[in-house]
């Protein structure tokens, strides 16, 4: 959340401060980076490359296009609604849009209506970002990826009511029953590492080891600790899910890890100065995120929609509320 643009007089920042087109690209890239709390255009570039690689590998290039479209629309909406310029410049009005743009083509068929849905969704995610931020400012807590999640849930739920929105990959709505007990050592080494990297790539709804590595490099160029917490968070989540008996298929696909990755970065590096108490607290929050992932899976199975990053949002809100005096002053729209 450092205001890099002001501080470091590197050529890119100099260019961005003069040329409005470069400035807009800079803001959009920072929006991509803010998904994992990094106010850094180079991080955002690595994230975009990772998204396009994952989308290309899965033959779903519409995910990459959606990501770009969502970021641009979300950011433009913030200008139109006259959000504070310092928030826009930090990318705080792009990160929900990029996630909406990744999520919708993942779950819906690429019909013309999809693109309208992405445009409307990313516009709405910015309205919601301003609404949620306005509420949470009372407690000095930020909106996290809540606006993305709520926007996407609304659109997904609506798809079960409106026949012209074509679902391709949402889970079948069903009442949950308890699964069979599962083995603590269900993963071999290759699966374990695959799960660790997929847990990072799934932050943008992509199941791809190389994308995960690109995301970690993107984090490291901004903050080495962010990369460390992200990767260790993914590993803690795998272990927690194995102990509790999450299915190995879901773990290998990264589905118990991506929210925990965000919690680990968020609690560990962004909001608090790291020390051993912060490490313990972050560990607790990361483990809780996995339990919350399981609980929210059950809540949403009935509706046939995924949790997205809401386990992280819940964990971050709960674990940040008690110690709000430790929050840095400059993170909050």
Q: What is the DSSP string of 305-320?
A: ---TTHHHHHHHHHHH
Gap between the Cα atoms of 98 and 46, Å rounded: 14
State in angstroms the smallest separation of the CB of 114 from a second copy: 12
- Selected from 50, 105, 246, 266, the binder of a second copy by CB under 8 A is 246
Which part of the chain contacts a second copy (CB under 8 A), choosing from 95-103, 129-137, 208-216, 263-271? Answer: 129-137
State in angstroms the smallest separation of the CB of 40 from a second copy: 27
In the bound state with a second copy, the residue whose beta carbon lies nearer, of 3 and 184, is: 184
State in angstroms the smallest separation of the CB of 14 from a second copy: 33
State in angstroms the smallest separation of the CB of 22 from a second copy: 28
Segments in the chain forming alpha helices (H): 4-7, 11-18, 20-34, 41-57, 61-80, 85-89, 95-107, 112-136, 146-159, 189-201, 209-222, 224-244, 248-252, 258-265, 276-301, 310-320
- Selected from 98, 114, 236, 241, the binder of a second copy by CB under 8 A is 241
Q: Which two tokens stand for residue 48?
A: 């975009």
State in angstroms the smallest separation of the CB of 47 from a second copy: 27
22 contacts a second copy (rule: CB under 8 A): no
Gap between the Cα atoms of 237 and 241, Å rounded: 6
Q: What is the sign of the dihedral through the CA atoms of 271, 222, 1 and 43?
A: negative
Tally of CB atoms within 10 A around 21: 9
Site for a second copy in 130-189 (CB under 8 A): 130-132, 134-135, 138-139, 153-167, 173-182
State in angstroms the smallest separation of the CB of 113 from a second copy: 8
61 contacts a second copy (rule: CB under 8 A): no
Q: Check if the beta carbon of residue 317 is closer than 8 Å to that of residue 112.
A: no
The upper half-sphere exposure of residue 190, i.e. CA atoms within 13 Å in the direction of its Cβ, equals: 0
Give the interface with a second copy as residue ranges (CB under 8 A). Answer: 81, 113, 120, 123-124, 127-128, 130-132, 134-135, 138-139, 153-167, 173-182, 241, 243-247, 284, 287-288, 291-299, 302-304, 317-319, 321-324
């Amino acid at each position: 959340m450092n205001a890099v643009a002001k501080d470091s007089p590197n050529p890119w920042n100099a260019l961005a401060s003069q040329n409005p087109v470069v400035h807009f690209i800079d803001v959009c890239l920072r929006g991509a980076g803010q998904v994992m709390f990094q106010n850094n255009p180079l991080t955002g570039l690595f994230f975009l490359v990772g998204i396009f690689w994952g989308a290309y590998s899965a033959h779903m290039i519409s995910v990459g296009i959606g990501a770009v479209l969502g970021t641009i629309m979300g950011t433009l909406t913030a200008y139109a609604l006259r959000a504070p310029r310092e928030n826009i410049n930090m990318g705080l009005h792009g990160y929900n849009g990029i996630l909406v743009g990744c999520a919708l083509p993942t779950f819906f068929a690429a019909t013309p209506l999809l693109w309208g849905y992405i445009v409307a969704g990313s516009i709405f995610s910015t309205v919601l970002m301003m609404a949620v931020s306005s509420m949470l400012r009372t407690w000095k807590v930020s909106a996290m990826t809540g606006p993305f999640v709520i926007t996407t849930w609304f659109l997904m739920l609506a798809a079960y009511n409106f026949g012209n929105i074509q679902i391709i990959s949402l889970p079948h709505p069903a009442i949950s029953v308890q699964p069979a007990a599962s083995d603590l050592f269900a993963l071999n080494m290759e699966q374990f590492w695959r799960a660790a990297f997929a847990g990072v790539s799934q932050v943008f709804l992509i199941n791809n080891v190389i994308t995960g590595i690109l995301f970690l490099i993107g984090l490291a160029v901004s903050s080495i600790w962010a990369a460390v917490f992200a990767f260790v968070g993914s590993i803690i989540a795998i272990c927690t899910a194995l102990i509790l008996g999450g299915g190995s298929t879901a773990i290998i696909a990264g589905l118990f890890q991506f929210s925990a990755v965000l919690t680990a970065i968020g609690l560990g590096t962004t909001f608090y100065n790291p020390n051993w108490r912060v490490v313990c607290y972050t560990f607790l929050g990361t483990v809780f995120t996995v339990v919350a992932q399981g609980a929210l899976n059950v809540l949403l199975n009935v509706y046939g929609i995924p949790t997205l990053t809401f386990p992280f949002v819940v964990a971050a809100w709960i674990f940040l509320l008690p110690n709000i005096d430790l929050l840095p002053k400059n993170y909050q729209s």
